[in-house]
């Protein structure tokens, strides 16, 4: 029997980051399954095709909308009405919500929980959004048929915190886009020149600019390096401002003024794939991750990774990454220096990362997800 799936894809109207990339890659893989038919919901309308670009001006519009009284609750009402109209017409067999706020649906619902950031780091969430999550999430987890998670780490957390039965929570590990792959220097010359970078001549930090990503530790650890190494390997910071990014602004501004740190802001996937493949290493000492997709992207690009030894990151990178305590400034400096100066260690991490990365694929993630849809219909 062919199943029709309603996938909430409104995240694709915003510039692509973690969950947006998840929706695109998963949907493209699911569309290869002849047993599935896909319908995509975009908040105000339904389509049978994936959005190929963010909505122009979305970030500015969203910023204004969030300042309106009860913005999240009002938007929820509007989206629910539009969802109901489309669901009545299309009659999907399963509704899949890829984040924390499933809409009401009369049939089987599958949701994806990427992390529990709102519990561990509530200060990283706008207050209105946090209130809505706390109000809606527990009941949503109870009523949905199945819950997909990105890692065993998150699966354990969600079962323990909410008392969910084991069979209701299914791990479907993420993968990364095929654009993340090793590149030769000549393939990257034009983009690197545009960004003022040299091949294997910089350290990369990727992530939304918010306290949870622990950029402050990266900045301090980089500043501890000898001046010659800081000059030879500047730090490139890639990411959009996040909640409470202002806490980082002074420290980041001072680091940039030193001449050894550069802020690239948001990069589209093509540019991000290029800088990831060109970096000497990626530094990712995040305090908390449900998966840590940038780590996998770096490994698939042949770029060694230094990651924190917390949350899901050791599960994803296994023995391929170099690990540090996310509070250990001196330890991070030492690991950076080791991968700058020890070419043999650098190559060992590069090879191990490439070998580890091929164990993840969107085809596998989609196969697990499709099976969960079938379980949801039959349970």
Average pLDDT over residues 238-254: 68
**Token couple for 325:** 């305590």
Within 10 angstroms of residue 22's Cβ, the number of other Cβ atoms is: 23
What's the pTM? 0.90
Q: How many C-alpha atoms does 144 have within 13 Å on its Cβ side?
A: 31
Average pLDDT over residues 68-81: 79
Distance CA 227, CA 1 (A): 65
pLDDT at residue 61, as a whole number: 46
Tokens of 251: 């420290």
Q: Which residue has the higher pLDDT, 358 or 129?
A: 358
Rounded to whole angstroms, what are the CA distances from 149 to 97, 110, 248? 12, 11, 30
Q: Looking at the domain 185-357, which fold is it? A: Rossmann fold (3.40.50)
* C-alpha triplet 176, 363, 296: angle, nearest 5°: 20
Please indicate whether residue 341 or residue 254 has the higher confidence score (pLDDT): 341
Coil, helix or strand for 337? helix
pLDDT of 54: 67
Torsion of CA 48, 54, 55, 56, to 10 degrees: -150
Return the CATH fold of 3-175+361-378.
Rossmann fold (3.40.50)
> In whole angstroms, how far apart are CA 340 and each of 255, 263, 282?
20, 21, 12
pLDDT, tens only, 181-227: 999 999 999 989 988 899 999 999 998 787 788 999 999 999 999 99
Rounded Cα gap, residues 328 and 256, in angstroms: 22
Does the pLDDT of residue 58 top 60, yes or no?
Answer: no
Pick from 270, 275, 294: nearest CA to 284: 294
Kindly report, as residue ranges, where domains of CATH 3.40.50.2000 are found in the chain: 3-175+361-378, 185-357
The b/e string for 213-245 (b: 16+ C-beta within 10 A; e otherwise) is bbbbbbbebbbebeeebbeebbbbbbbbebbbb
Mean pLDDT score of the chain, rounded to an integer? Answer: 91
Give 315-361 pLDDT, tens digit per residue.
999 999 999 999 999 999 999 999 999 999 999 999 999 999 999 99
Q: How many other C-beta atoms are found inside a 10 Å radius of the C-beta of residue 189?
A: 13
Residue-by-residue DSSP string for 21-69? HHHHHHHHHHTT-TTEEEEEE-SS-EESS---SPPTTHHHHHHHHHTST
Spatial separation of the C-alpha atoms in residues 245 and 259, rounded to whole Å: 21
Residue 59 has pLDDT above 60, yes or no: no
């Amino acid at each position: 029997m062919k199943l029709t799936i309603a996938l909430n894809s409104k995240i694709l109207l915003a510039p692509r980051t973690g969950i947006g990339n998840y929706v695109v890659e998963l949907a493209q893989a699911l569309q290869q399954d002849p047993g599935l038919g896909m319908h995509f919901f975009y908040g105000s309308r339904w389509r049978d095709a994936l959005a190929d670009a963010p909505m122009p001006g979305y970030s500015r519009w969203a910023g204004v909308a969030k300042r309106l009284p009860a913005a999240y609750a009002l938007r929820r009402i509007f989206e629910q009405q539009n969802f109901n109209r489309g669901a009545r017409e299309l009659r999907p067999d399963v509704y899949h919500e890829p984040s924390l706020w499933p809409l009401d649906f009369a049939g089987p619902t599958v949701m994806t929980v990427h992390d529990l950031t709102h519990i561990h780091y509530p200060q990283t969430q706008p207050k209105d959004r946090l209130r809505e999550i706390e109000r809606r999430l527990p009941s949503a987890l109870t009523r949905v048929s199945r819950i997909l998670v990105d890692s065993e780490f998150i699966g354990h957390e969600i079962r323990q915190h909410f008392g969910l039965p084991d069979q209701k929570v299914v791990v479907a590990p993420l993968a990364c886009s095929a654009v993340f792959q090793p590149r030769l220097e000549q393939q990257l010359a034009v983009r690197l020149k545009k960004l003022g970078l040299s091949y294997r001549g910089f350290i990369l930090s990727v992530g939304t600019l918010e306290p949870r990503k622990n950029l402050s530790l990266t900045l301090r650890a980089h500043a501890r390096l000898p001046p010659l190494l800081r000059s030879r390997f500047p730090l490139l910071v890639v990411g959009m401002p996040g909640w409470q990014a202002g806490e980082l602004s002074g420290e980041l501004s001072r680091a940039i003024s030193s001449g050894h740190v550069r802020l690239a802001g948001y990069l589209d996937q093509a540019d991000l794939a290029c800088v990831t493949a060109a970096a000497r290493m990626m530094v990712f000492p995040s305090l908390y991750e449900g998966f840590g997709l940038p780590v996998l992207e770096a490994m698939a690009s042949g770029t060694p990774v230094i990651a924190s030894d917390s949350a899901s990151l050791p599960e994803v990178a296994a023995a391929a990454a170099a690990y540090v305590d996310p509070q250990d400034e001196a330890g991070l400096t030492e690991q950076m220096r080791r991968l700058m100066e020890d070419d043999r260690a650098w190559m060992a991490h590069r090879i191990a990362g490439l070998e580890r990365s091929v164990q993840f694929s969107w085809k596998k993630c989609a196969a697990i997800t499709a099976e969960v849809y079938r379980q949801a219909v039959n349970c």
